[in-house]
Each structure stands twice: as C-alpha cells, then as structure tokens.
Structure 1
Amino acid sequence: MSYKEYFNGKKIAIIGLGPHGEMIPDIKFLCKNKSSVTVFDMRTESRLKTIVPELSSTGIEKCILGKVDAEELLNFDLIIISPEISKKSIFLKKAIQAEIQVEFPDTLFFKLSPPVTLIGVMGQYGKNSVTMMIYEILKKSFSEYKDQGLFLINSETDSGVLSHLKKVKKDDVVLVRIQENLLNYYHEMHISPHVAVITSYVDFSILNFQTYNNFIVAPDEVVDMIKKEKDINSKAKILRTRPGMVPAGWKIENKISHHKDNIALAMQTCELFKVEQEEIREVIEDMPAQKGSVEFIKKIDFIEYYNDANSISPESTLSALKSLSNNRNTILILGGAYTGFDYTNMVKEISKYSKMIILLPGSGSLGIRPMLESLKDTVFVQSFSLEESLIKAKENAVKGDRILFSPAFDAVGIDISRKERGEKFVKIVRSL
C-alpha cells in the first residue's frame, strides 16, 4: 500500500504541535493527502498565538487547545503524537486499549517509506550538533549526484517527517536524530541504523538488528561500554573516534573540548560515504556554533557567560562542566522538570569542576536538592528565577570565572521549551 492510499480518508488526531510548531509541515502533508485531521494541544491559544495562524491554511477539520479529551480520541483511525508527548499519557490509555493505532512521526515514516539507508545519531548529549554537521557535509557532497537523495529527521527543526514520504525513494539516505524516548520504539519495530552514531551511553539494544555490513561510530569510552554489554548482538563493524582525529590546522571557532569529539564523529561517519577530508573541513569551518549547546554569549568584567540550555541530562551537564572548568572556576546554574535520569554520579563529580551551584525550581530539582545540600566543597544556593540566579552568580563571580547555564533537566511546564529558556538566559545576560 502506498502512503497516499494509507492516508486517504483516514480520521487522524494530531496531539501536540511541537514546541515551536514543528508538526505543521506534517499536518499540511496529511491534509493534502485527503486525511481528516483534528489537532489537539495542551497549551492555550494565547500561548500558541504565533503558531495557530499557520493552521488556518492547512485544511484541518478543527483545532482543540488547552485539553485532550480521552473519549474524543476514540473516534479516530490513527493518532499521531509529537515526539515530546509520552505514549504513557493518561489521555491515550483508552485509545490504546481500544487498539487504535498510536504513532510518532518517526515510527510511522519508517513503516511507510521504501527501503532506505538509515544513519541514526543517538546519545545523551551532542546529538543535535553531530546530526547537523553530518547533514551539512553530506548535503554538499551529495549535491554532485543527481539521483542521491538525503533527508533529515530532527524533531528540533521544522523540516517535517511524514512530509518526506512524497520525495524519498529506495536507497536514499535518511539521517535521524533519535531521541532517547524513541529508542525503545525503534527496537520494537526491529529497526537498527545502518550507521549508528553514538555520542554517549544510551540503551544499546537498538543495535541488536545490525548486520555485518552495518557500522557503529562512537568514541572510545562508548565502544568500551558496548563491548561490556553481554546482551548486545550487533554484528556491525565498530569505528572508534577520538578528538585527536581532527587535524590541528582546521579553523574551529568553538574551542570547547567535546566539540572536537563531535567533529570526529561527523568526520568518521561522512568518510563512510566517500566524502573527502578537505570537503569535510570546508563545511565544518563554515558552520556557525549551535545555539544552546555550550554557546559562548558574552564576557562582562572578565567573566564569561555560556548558554547550554539544550542540556536535559546529567551526563550532558557534566560534559559541559568538564569542558569549561579550569581549577573549579565555574558557577553552574541548573534545575528544571523531572526527566527520570539518575543524577547520583553528576552530583558526586560536580565539586571537581564547580565552585558554586545555583538550583532553579522544578520537579526534577526537588529530587537532587538534598544531595546538593550535602556537598562540602561547593557553595549551594537556591533561586526562584533565572533572573535571580544570574544576579547571584554575578555577585559571586571573580575575574576569570565562567557562568554556565546547563539545566540537566527538561524545561519546566508546558508553557516553555528548551529553546525559549535559552533565549531568556541570553536576553538577561545581554542586559547585564
């Protein structure tokens, strides 16, 4: 069955427009393919005032904001949920019990697409940077070949997912930034990337369906972790990466140490597709720094400010701290919504790199507060807002210090996203 036949006449519920309307390209695609689409989002119309106007021209049946009615979902043939929505959400329980199909855009794409070459980028941190490096390098390289398609699936961009079905063809390359919460669903579908690019520890079971002509590209420490996993049956070739692989003569604007780790991963991956190193260098040197990923904002009175608002895991924040800290000269602002990660190791290591920790409010912050309070060598204070946190950080910083906003938790509440909290931090810093 073609995707056109599959979508024709289907009653589809879309739950969640994405933090910044990332689902809109797919909504337009579904409407053009004669689906009857109803959109649900837990946010209010006032909160979505910049996104809702775009829906008026899509052809949807209706848009219901501020709630998701579990009973109403029983009237649909298919429910597609935005990647930040959990399949365990209470409003989906009845629909799942009624055996109504519930899909993420990613999983549905692979059920309907022709056979493609899948590059999957995964890990607790660095995914977005590595994904965009690989994409820009391959896009430039593939432009020389008329019939070689390249498609990007990244929930943090507005490129769409299902909308790629109208152009993707057999043997095209599909590059996916795989979120941690979706790894299990790839595994359930018996999907393993042909090239698995792994930045840090993840659930390695996604590798179980790799064959002898597949590849794993990962740093030394990740490869060592994979080899210790007794239940992993991947038959793929393993390619180790190290920051030293990046030639010393390359002009790299971002001097943070793990940026070279990311470049090495992208370089090794693209070399599998016969991209010359000189072409890789040209793209890397021209790429701007990723916003919200250990992003240098400003130096004020010899104190540097860094935005790492994309961090939602302890390992990501610890990695940023290790990269920036020099003799514990870093003041860390962290905290936010519960994520389910174990923060024990981060708290244990944090005193080695940070002289002061400022904790923001949030359901996740509550869980680590007792551990942070028990630290002996690091000053710990609580704050009720980002503005207050920056005031406290500035008051306690001295010449040569670095102030790092790396939350290690998700954004708080349905009315703010990682991007928005980063933009807020940058705005406050620039007003200092």
Structure 2
Amino acid sequence: MIYHNNNIKNKKITILGAGISGFGATKLANYKKAKVFLSNNKKFNNPFNNKIEKEFSHSEKCKDSDLVILSPGIDPQKNKIIKILSDLNIPIISEIEFASWFTNSPIIAITGSNGKSTVVKMLHEILQEKYENVLLGGNIGISFSSNVVDELKSELINSVHLLEVSSFQLENIKTFKPYISCILNVTKDHLDRHGDFNNYLNQKMKITKNHDSNSFVVYNEDDDNLKSIFKEKINSLPFSIQKKNQFFTKKKTIFYSKTNEKIIDQNKTNLLGEHNLSNILACLNISEILNINKKQLVNSLINFKPLKHRMEVVYKKNSFMIINDSKSTNLDSTNSAVKSFKNEIILLFGGFSKNELDKDEIINITKYKNISEIICFGQIGKQIYEILKKKTKSVLIQNFNDAILKSIELSLNKKTIVFSPGFKSFDEFKNFEERGEHFKKIIKSYFV
C-alpha cells in the first residue's frame, strides 16, 4: 500500500480520466517523479507532450500499476477496468485523496446538494483577510492537485486549501481529512449514479470519514438527516435559520448569540432567498472557528456578487425582475427559489431527467400561492404538466425559446419571472451554464 506516503518516486501510477481532475493528478504525480500512465476512453489534447505515457482506451496496461487515481466523472460501477483492478487488489483512490497527501496546509472542504459554489466563493473572499494564499479548488474548475503543485513549486506559506467537494470526488477517499468539513444540505440528486438516496447520503458523509478531536464539522441543523448524524459528534457546530446556535436569525438579520450583537442584514447583501441566508450562516460559523475579524467578514459578504446562473438578476425595472437560476438541477433548489419571493411569479420549470418523477415533491414545490403560472418545458415537460394540470395553473410549451417568450407574455412586466428549472439541461444543452447563457441572451434581446 502507498497510502499517505510522500515518496512516490518511480512508482507506477495510472490515472483514469483526462479531465480537469485527471490532468491535475497527472501534473502532481509527474512533479513527484512517479511513472505516470494517463488512460482515457477517447482522444484528448495532451498538454504534457512526451513527458508521460498515455492511451485513448482503458486497456490491460492499466493493470501494471502500484496505484490508480480515478477521476470523478468515471462511474466505478459501470467501468469494466475498475472491477479488474479491484480484483487485483490494486489501490484505487480519488484525486482529492491523492492531492491531500502532499500538502501541510489546512483544508476547508464544502459539500452539499445545493449552495456549494456560492459558499466557497464567499469564503474565498472572506479568508483572504487571514491567509496570504487562499487556494480555491475541487469541483469548481481547478483541481486540488494543480493547486498543490503550485503550493509546492512556489513554497507557499500561510496558505489554506478551500475545496468544493462533490459526492463523486468522495467515493474513493482513504485518509482525506479536512480541518473544517462543511455540509450544507443533502437532498435527492445524482441518483442515476448512486442508486438511491441513502447511498448518496453515505457518499456525502465520507467528507467526515477521518474527523476527530483535531478537526471540525459545520452542518445545517435544519436538515433532519444531518441533525441526526452530527448532533452528538465531537467538534460539530450546527447552523440554522430556525434555531439559536452560535448565531441566530430574526427575519433576514443574523445576530451573534453570545452578545446579541447584530452581525448582518441579508437585505444589505446581493444574495436573494432563505437558502442564501443559510449559506451566510455556514460562512459565519467557519469564520468563527478561524477567528476572522467580524467587521472584515461583513464587508466581504456585503460586497459579494452572486455567481452566474444562481438566482442571478438578469433584468430589473422597478419591482419587475427576471431571475436566471439555471443551476437549479434538482427539485430542492427550485423549492428554495420559489420561497425567495413573496410577490407573484411565473415559474419556468422543466428540462431533462432519466429518473422517475416524484409526484408528491413536484406538487409540494408548486403549491405556493405566489406562483401565478407554471410553464412546463423540455424533455420532462409533458410529464410535469400531466402531474400539475389539475392542481395548479400551468401550461405545456416544450420548446425552450417559446417557453421563455410565453413567460414574458404572462408576466405583464409585473410578475417576477423565475427560471429555476429543477432538472438537468441535457435535453438541449451541454450543461446548466450553456442553458443559463441562452436564457439570458433571449431575455436581453427582448428587453434591449
């Protein structure tokens, strides 16, 4: 076994998958002078030239390995080479596990079904008040391994690794141990990979697999599953918009419990919705562990600009708004979006799904009185419409462009248009970003 051994010089390391994580792991293994073999199931542009051996299929060559690093995009249950390697007892680990072997800097890792990117981006601003080098990585466009290489090459000091971590990245961890693990929420998602909710929940909980008295867990007490798991665990700090913990809320204002000091009014930030109030609480609890100056912290939160495609205000005139929440790829995120508004809204709801629809959950999400009309669109649109047509005012317009134009017509330039689809984008788009950009293009062309 090689686990947690910094000396991988001349060890035969196979990296499965040539995406962001795979390239990052390749870069780190090569820097540490391992014999690297990069195996991908299709051709890719090779940034390493002839420094490493590569292949464009997962062949028998992978068996000649001391260690295998598995990219998160590869489903271990569906990949034949993974079973072969497992039967040979070759250690298989995730990229975040591998990267963690080579850093002495603290790790702050954030996971959850919704809100991860917003929280890590807020923390990235906040932590710069304390750390000289805040290395943002993980499931947010740059790999943990790439950041570790930069850390080692530049001999960075006073550094912290801030990671957004997905369930896929946690599947094959062994010794990965954040100084602070934060779980924002866990709702039904990625069931096509994990099979059922319990398996998905168990994968998420691996973030605390190596938690002990020298580390911390920050968790959302309003999530019943998380509450039952962590309420008795050492160094577990809950946050809640319903209950009083280190911080408490009144309406949209957060107070510090020890002194009843007012910390921040959400209305003074650019963040909409109850779910973002919860995200702010997560950041406050993490900042408290790290002794971040509260005044500097509040300034960072007030100046923070929301991420694209996450409750993004695309158009605003007086009280009329159009919201792009294309990142909403599960029903819980749509529920959060709908609850963010008291005024009447037009909801754009639909997209792509291979899973059986949860009728009760769809009905519960769409029962709010402020929903004036629901426009069902996309591959899943007809199924949604069949569930809702006798329950609430709804219309089926499967073409995305036509659905957007219908929402503008129904809004009468008064009712807020909320594009919070609740489903994935793969019926018409590569990802939620492309879908969100298309939505914004249509809106801007109409209102220019």
**Pair 1:8–1:162, CA change in 2 (3 A):** farther
1:395 aligned partner: 409
CA-CA distance at 1:241 after TM superposition: 4.1
Counterpart among 81, 87, 95 of residue 97 in structure 1: 87
Matched, 1:174 2:174: no
CA-CA distance at 1:277 after TM superposition: 0.7
RMSD over aligned Cα, in angstroms? 3.8
The CA distance in 2 between the partners of 1:389 and 1:266, in whole Å, is 37
**Pair 1:233–1:298, CA change in 2 (3 A):** same
1:288 aligned partner: 305
CA-CA distance at 1:290 after TM superposition: 0.8
Amino acid at match of 1:378: K
2:329 aligned partner: 312
Matched, 1:381 2:396: yes
CA-CA distance at 1:293 after TM superposition: 1.0
**SS state of the match for residue 221, structure 1?**
coil
Matched, 1:197 2:182: yes
Amino acid at match of 2:334: T
Worse-superposed segment, 116-125 or 89-98: 89-98
Counterpart among 120, 123, 128 of residue 131 in structure 1: 120
**SS state of the match for residue 161, structure 1?**
helix
Amino acid at match of 2:95: P
Q: What CA deviation, in whole Å up to 9, does each residue of 1:13-54 have, x standing for no partner?
A: 331414xxx654443333444433435255x77xxxxxx3x7
Counterpart among 72, 95, 104 of residue 83 in structure 1: 72
Contact 1:314/1:343 (<8 A) preserved: no
Q: What CA deviation, in whole Å up to 9, does each residue of 1:158-193 have, x standing for no partner?
A: 25435515636999643322213445545xx36564
Counterpart among 272, 287, 290 of residue 270 in structure 1: 287
The CA distance in 2 between the partners of 1:309 and 1:271, in whole Å, is 32
**SS state of the match for residue 113, structure 1?**
coil
In structure 1, stretches of 5+ residues that fail to align are 46-51, 144-148
Matched, 1:221 2:257: no
Alignment of 1:99-248 (within 5 A): 99-110=89-100, 112-113=101-102, 117-143=106-132, 150-158=134-142, 160-161=144-145, 163-164=147-148, 167=151, 173-183=160-170, 185-186=172-173, 189=174, 193-201=178-186, 203=201, 205-206=205-206, 207=208, 210-212=211-213, 214-222=215-223, 225-229=225-229, 234-242=233-241, 243=249, 244-245=253-254, 246-248=263-265
Matched, 1:17 2:19: yes
**SS state of the match for residue 128, structure 2?**
helix
Counterpart among 41, 55, 69 of residue 47 in structure 2: 55
The CA distance in 2 between the partners of 1:60 and 1:317, in whole Å, is 45
The CA distance in 1 between the partners of 2:186 and 2:278, in whole Å, is 14
Q: What CA deviation, in whole Å up to 9, does each residue of 1:96-147 have, x standing for no partner?
A: 334444332112223x23566442322211111111211221123123xxxx
Contact 1:212/1:237 (<8 A) preserved: no
Task: Tell me the TM-score normalized by structure 1.
Answer: 0.77
Tell me the percent identity. 19
**Pair 1:306–1:75, CA change in 2 (3 A):** farther
**Pair 1:93–1:291, CA change in 2 (3 A):** same
Q: What CA deviation, in whole Å up to 9, does each residue of 1:177-235 have, x standing for no partner?
A: 2213445545xx3656443323223637444654345434344413x543445x97622
Matched, 1:356 2:358: no
**Pair 1:309–1:133, CA change in 2 (3 A):** same
Amino acid at match of 2:349: I
Amino acid at match of 2:40: F
Q: What CA deviation, in whole Å up to 9, does each residue of 1:77-102 have, x standing for no partner?
A: 54434323322233444343344443
Amino acid at match of 2:116: K
The CA distance in 2 between the partners of 1:396 and 1:289, in whole Å, is 27
The CA distance in 1 between the partners of 2:138 and 2:99, in whole Å, is 13
Amino acid at match of 1:334: G
CA-CA distance at 1:291 after TM superposition: 1.1
The CA distance in 2 between the partners of 1:180 and 1:85, in whole Å, is 12
CA-CA distance at 1:239 after TM superposition: 3.6
**Pair 1:370–1:153, CA change in 2 (3 A):** same
Contact 1:208/1:233 (<8 A) preserved: no
1:40 aligned partner: 40
The CA distance in 2 between the partners of 1:342 and 1:193, in whole Å, is 35
Counterpart among 305, 325, 347 of residue 331 in structure 1: 347
CA-CA distance at 1:383 after TM superposition: 0.9
The CA distance in 2 between the partners of 1:410 and 1:279, in whole Å, is 37
Aligned length: 404
The CA distance in 2 between the partners of 1:381 and 1:304, in whole Å, is 23
Contact 1:28/1:58 (<8 A) preserved: no
Contact 2:94/2:170 (<8 A) preserved: no
CA-CA distance at 1:270 after TM superposition: 0.9
The CA distance in 1 between the partners of 2:94 and 2:292, in whole Å, is 32
Amino acid at match of 1:200: N
**Pair 1:228–1:26, CA change in 2 (3 A):** closer
Amino acid at match of 2:71: S
The CA distance in 2 between the partners of 1:270 and 1:15, in whole Å, is 35
Q: What CA deviation, in whole Å up to 9, does each residue of 1:373-418 have, x standing for no partner?
A: 455213041414x323312322333232222232323341797123
Amino acid at match of 1:387: N
Matched, 1:420 2:434: yes
**SS state of the match for residue 329, structure 2?**
coil
